[in-house]
């Protein structure tokens, strides 16, 4: 059955999450981040949550929209296509974050359908902390894969990258990330279910791979200050497997208004892109 386009514009009830220091630290460790800003309570201003912790405080809202029976998405045919996150203000232990989801688009493509959900989150003082755009692709047929749903033009020659950073995914990464993020989709933790879905085995959460990229950006472009990361966009093009080493390449793209913009792509050991069309925006 096709997705129900009558659901475009549908808004869902708000969801409120209380942020704890234990949860923010657990999330940082789930993608191997050791930034003192996430752990050192003696740090001036106190600890902050990793920017990608916005995934945790909006996850229930995301799933409420994606799993809405009125929409009719088949979860076994669904892959995470894109994620675009705007970090508007810090999230800290003790905050109460309220998020709300709205379906902004449902489109029919030659190979399936796409569903786009906008997520807005604010803290207990009404301050907006995050805006995210979650895009899912529902395959029209054939085996499940993490491939991008749309064909691509040949890549432009960007020249030598500004950065080239390798990171190794641990064997137990998906289990730790599932617990820290709340995303317990069995394709990330159960070999049998992953193979039933047409995958070669357990795959790494796309948002976990994106969190690894956030560390590249914060460590190398933000002077290790997570508050300088303002935007991170990923287009997931291929699954990552536990144990693999991924390499992120970053190119400068200028900027304005006090924001520096970079393009990036992330590759598996075979040199195949697992994230394409990446964008990083950093406060100067």
As a whole-number percent, the residues of the chain with pLDDT over 90 amount to 83
| 26 contact partners, CB below 8 Å, separation of at least 6 | 179, 180
Mean pLDDT along residues 74-103: 94
**Domain annotation for the chain: domains and CATH numbers:** 5-149+161-283 (3.10.129.10)
Report the pLDDT value the prediction gives residue 33, as an integer from 0 to 100.
98
Mean pLDDT along residues 24-29: 98
Report the pLDDT value the prediction gives residue 148, as an integer from 0 to 100.
47
| 218 contact partners, CB below 8 Å, separation of at least 6 | 35, 51, 224, 225, 226, 228, 229
Cα–Cα distance measured from residue 136 to residue 219, given in angstroms and rounded to the nearest whole number: 29
* Cα–chain center distance at 25: 18
pLDDT at 151 over 60: no
pLDDT at 150 over 70: no
CA distances to 54, 98, 271 from 121, rounded to whole Å, are: 8, 5, 36
Percent helix / strand / coil, the chain, rounded to 5: 25, 35, 40
Mean pLDDT along residues 48-77: 94
98-107, 156-165, 207-216: range with lowest mean pLDDT: 156-165
Cα–Cα distance measured from residue 2 to residue 62, given in angstroms and rounded to the nearest whole number: 20
pLDDT at 60 over 90: yes
Q: What is the pLDDT of residues 92-116, one digit of tens each?
A: 999 999 999 999 999 999 889 999 9
Report the pLDDT value the prediction gives residue 74, as an integer from 0 to 100.
86
CA distances to 100, 118, 136, 195, 225 from 42, rounded to whole Å, are: 33, 36, 40, 46, 16
pLDDT at 160 over 50: yes
Q: What is the pLDDT of residues 214-262, one digit of tens each?
A: 999 999 999 999 999 999 999 999 999 999 999 999 999 998 889 999 9
> Of the segments 38-47, 144-153, 155-164, 202-211, which one has the largest average pLDDT value?
202-211
Q: What is the pLDDT of residues 113-140, one digit of tens each?
A: 999 999 999 999 999 999 999 999 997 7
Residue carrying structure tokens 């902390």: 129
Residue 155: pLDDT band (50, 70, 90) is low
Write the DSSP string, 81-141: EEEEEEE-S---TT-EEEEEEEEEEEEEETTEEEEEEEEEEE-TTS-EEEEEEEEEEEESS
Report the pLDDT value the prediction gives residue 65, as an integer from 0 to 100.
97
């Amino acid at each position: 059955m096709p997705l129900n386009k009558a659901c475009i514009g549908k808004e869902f009830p708000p969801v409120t999450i209380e942020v704890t220091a234990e949860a923010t630290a657990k999330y940082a460790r789930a993608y191997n981040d050791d930034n003192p800003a996430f752990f050192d309570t003696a740090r001036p201003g106190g600890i902050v949550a990793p920017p990608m912790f916005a995934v945790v405080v909006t996850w229930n809202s995301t799933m409420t929209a994606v799993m809405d029976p009125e929409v009719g998405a088949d979860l076994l045919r669904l892959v995470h296509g894109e994620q675009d996150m705007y970090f508007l203000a810090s999230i800290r232990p003790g905050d109460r974050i309220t998020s709300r989801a709205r379906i902004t688009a449902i489109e029919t493509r030659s190979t399936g359908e796409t569903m786009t959900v906008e997520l807005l989150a604010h803290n207990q003082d009404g301050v907006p902390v995050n805006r995210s755009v979650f895009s899912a692709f529902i395959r029209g047929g054939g085996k499940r894969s993490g491939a991008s749903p749309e064909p691509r033009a040949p890549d432009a020659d960007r020249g030598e990258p500004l950065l080239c950073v390798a990171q190794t995914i641990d064997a137990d990464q998906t289990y730790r990330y599932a617990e820290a993020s709340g995303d317990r989709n069995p394709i990330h933790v159960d070999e049998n279910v992953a193979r039933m879905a047409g995958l070669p085995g357990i795959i790494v959460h796309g948002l976990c791979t994106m969190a690894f990229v956030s560390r590249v950006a914060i460590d190398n472009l933000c002077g290790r200050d997570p508050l300088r990361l303002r935007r991170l966009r990923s287009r997931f093009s291929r699954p990552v497997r536990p144990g693999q080493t991924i390499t992120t390449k970053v190119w400068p793209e200028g900027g304005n208004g006090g924001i520096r913009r970079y393009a990036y792509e992330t590759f598996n050991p075979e040199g195949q892109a697992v994230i394409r069309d990446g964008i990083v925006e950093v406060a100067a």
